[in-house]
Amino acid sequence: MATNKYQAVMTEIANQLPSLIAGDPGHSSRHYERLFLANNPTLNTLGDQIRKGKFRKTVLEDKVNDVIIDLHHKLQVQKVGVKYYPLGFDLSTIPTTKAKKAKAKKVATVVETVVEPTLEVEETLIEVEVDNPAVIEAHIDTETQELVENVGGSKDYRISLDKVEDGYITSSVQVSTTTLEPVEVEETVEPNLIEETQEPNLIEETQEEVEVKETPVAEQVDNEPVVVHKYDLKALRQSASFDPIAITIRKVTGEYEVYRDMENRNIVLTQVDRKDYEVISVDVDHDHLKSVNPVLSTYASQAISDFEKASNHKEGCTKVVRALVSCLIKCQHTDDFGGFVEECVNPVCPLKTIWGGGATNVNPNAS
């Protein structure tokens, strides 16, 4: 779980956490991070604050979060929603509040409507508020222990509760309902991000990917302020950190090497034997994108989700590369990096609109 560098500190955290949770049960791991830091100020020598999603925390607090997740996996503490309890705690004493389940918004094209009777089912739903203005509705699926978010597309996004950033869920209400009446079932289709009338054409769904070797996952920077991280392409190639990816749209193929810097939240994109590379911040301004075109905000959300959850660099970068190849075609660039290197004059180019402001071309040979 821990490297030798942090082993002693994480052992001390593991020794103290159960008693901290027993003395103050029913809080998120963010609460116990702060509590441990307050109780152990002399241990806070691991470095300055780091960026984790939307939040800043010290390295020590981040290690507390790692340990509490590990304790939960080892069944040494209990977890309900995002809150932790000591072993032996009577979870039936946790208060619940009844509320009506919010009606889901219709955001996709209705293809077919059928009416199916439902059986009498007792279900438990935990409705939550999250710290993300892009999310329309959210709830916790108690069967799969996942946070389910609706960001305006036809498909909800699911995140394991173990991977939800502490403090991201701001409030919750548990609801129990019994369904007896027939329910209208609406069959929907995915919103077409490609050939939308009078809308910026996004990426061709007819893309073909060349299957190539998969390599291990790496690690995640916010672009505040603008800090250009430099990468050693030779070292990344020698360690097989890059994933090759090839995408074909309208018979135009773009072949690249991609790598996810999970700690700094960057995508590093280049080509075989190419010396320059592109550093692309995966985090974008969703409020701006929604004002331009909500479809772009949805596509960006999907790209971020892939970046965070994919098992390899190729899958985690596919949507960004697909937008790049689309830019090569629709905006008629001469460089394989498209609008990332050359001036993109297309005002509705998805690549330029979504990632153009957070991307930097790094050329070691430039004077």
The answer to whether residues 354 and 321 belong to one domain is yes
- pLDDT (average), residues 298-321: 94
The answer to whether residues 130 and 63 belong to one domain is no
Q: Please indicate, yes or no, if residue 14 is contained in any of the structural domains.
A: yes
State the Cα–Cα distance between residues 194 and 325, nearest whole angstrom: 13
Q: What is the pLDDT of residue 316?
A: 94
Residue with tokens 């790094």: 362
State the Cα–Cα distance between residues 316 and 310, nearest whole angstrom: 5
| Three-class SS state of 286 | helix
The answer to whether residues 288 and 146 belong to one domain is no
pLDDT at 302 over 90: yes
Number of domains in the chain: 3
Q: Please indicate, yes or no, if residue 2 is contained in any of the structural domains.
A: no
- pLDDT (average), residues 317-338: 91
The answer to whether residues 72 and 136 belong to one domain is no
User: What residues are paired with 177 via a beta bridge?
Assistant: 123
pLDDT at 119 over 50: no
| Reported confidence tier of residue 367, pLDDT bands at 50, 70, 90 | low
Q: Please indicate, yes or no, if residue 292 is contained in any of the structural domains.
A: yes
More confident residue, 248 or 194: 248
The answer to whether residues 182 and 276 belong to one domain is no
Q: What is the pLDDT of residue 28?
A: 85
- pLDDT (average), residues 307-327: 93
Q: Could you give the maximum distance between any two Cα atoms of the chain, in Å?
A: 72
Q: Please indicate, yes or no, if residue 33 is contained in any of the structural domains.
A: yes
Q: Please indicate, yes or no, if residue 101 is contained in any of the structural domains.
A: no
Question: Which three-class secondary structure string do you get for 90-134?
Answer: CHHHCCCCCCCCCCCCCCCCEEEEEEECCCCEEEEEEEEEECCCC
Q: What is the pLDDT of residue 185?
A: 41
Q: Please indicate, yes or no, if residue 299 is contained in any of the structural domains.
A: yes
Q: What is the pLDDT of residue 161?
A: 83
Q: Please indicate, yes or no, if residue 195 is contained in any of the structural domains.
A: no
pTM of the model: 0.42
Decide if 130 contacts 169 (C-beta within 8 A): yes
| Reported confidence tier of residue 5, pLDDT bands at 50, 70, 90 | low
The answer to whether residues 125 and 72 belong to one domain is no
The answer to whether residues 241 and 347 belong to one domain is yes
pLDDT at 106 over 60: no
**Token pair of 44 as six digits:** 């806070």
Strands (E), the chain: 49-52, 55-58, 77-80, 83-86, 110-116, 121-130, 137-141, 146-150, 157-160, 169-179, 183-188, 208-209, 243-249, 252-261, 266-270, 277-281, 359-362
**Percentage of residues in the chain with pLDDT exceeding 90?**
21
More confident residue, 354 or 250: 354
More confident residue, 45 or 296: 296
Q: Which of 152, 186, 220 is the last residue of a domain?
A: 186
- Helix (H), strand (E) counts: the chain: 8, 17
Bond into 216 cis (ω within 30): no
Q: Which of 93, 128, 161 is the last residue of a domain?
A: 93
User: What residues are paired with 138 via a beta bridge?
Assistant: 149
pLDDT at 110 over 60: no
The answer to whether residues 86 and 129 belong to one domain is no
The answer to whether residues 295 and 223 belong to one domain is yes
Q: What is the pLDDT of residue 322?
A: 93
State the Cα–Cα distance between residues 299 and 108, nearest whole angstrom: 14
Q: What is the pLDDT of residue 227?
A: 65
Q: What is the pLDDT of residue 140?
A: 84
Reported as type and span, the H/E element at residue 29 is helix 29-39
More confident residue, 1 or 171: 171
The answer to whether residues 181 and 81 belong to one domain is no
What is each CA distance from 305 to 310, 342, 360, in whole angstroms? 8, 28, 22
The answer to whether residues 267 and 345 belong to one domain is yes
List the domain range (segments joined by +) for residue 67.
7-93
State the Cα–Cα distance between residues 69 and 32, nearest whole angstrom: 12
More confident residue, 233 or 195: 233
The answer to whether residues 59 and 153 belong to one domain is no
State the Cα–Cα distance between residues 230 and 192, nearest whole angstrom: 36
State the Cα–Cα distance between residues 5 and 25, nearest whole angstrom: 30
Q: What is the pLDDT of the chain when averaged over all its residues?
A: 75
pLDDT at 55 over 70: no
Reported as type and span, the H/E element at residue 331 is none
- pLDDT (average), residues 86-107: 64
Task: For residue 42, give the DSSP letter.
Answer: G
Q: Please indicate, yes or no, if residue 367 is contained in any of the structural domains.
A: no
- pLDDT (average), residues 302-325: 94
Q: What is the pLDDT of residue 70?
A: 86
Which among 39, 40, 28 is positioned nearest to 65, based on CA atoms?
28
Q: Which residues contact 323 (CB under 8 A, 6 or more apart)?
A: 202, 203, 299, 350, 351, 354, 355
Which among 258, 252, 311, 247 is positioned nearest to 280, based on CA atoms?
258
Range scoring the smallest mean pLDDT among 144-158, 239-253, 348-362: 144-158
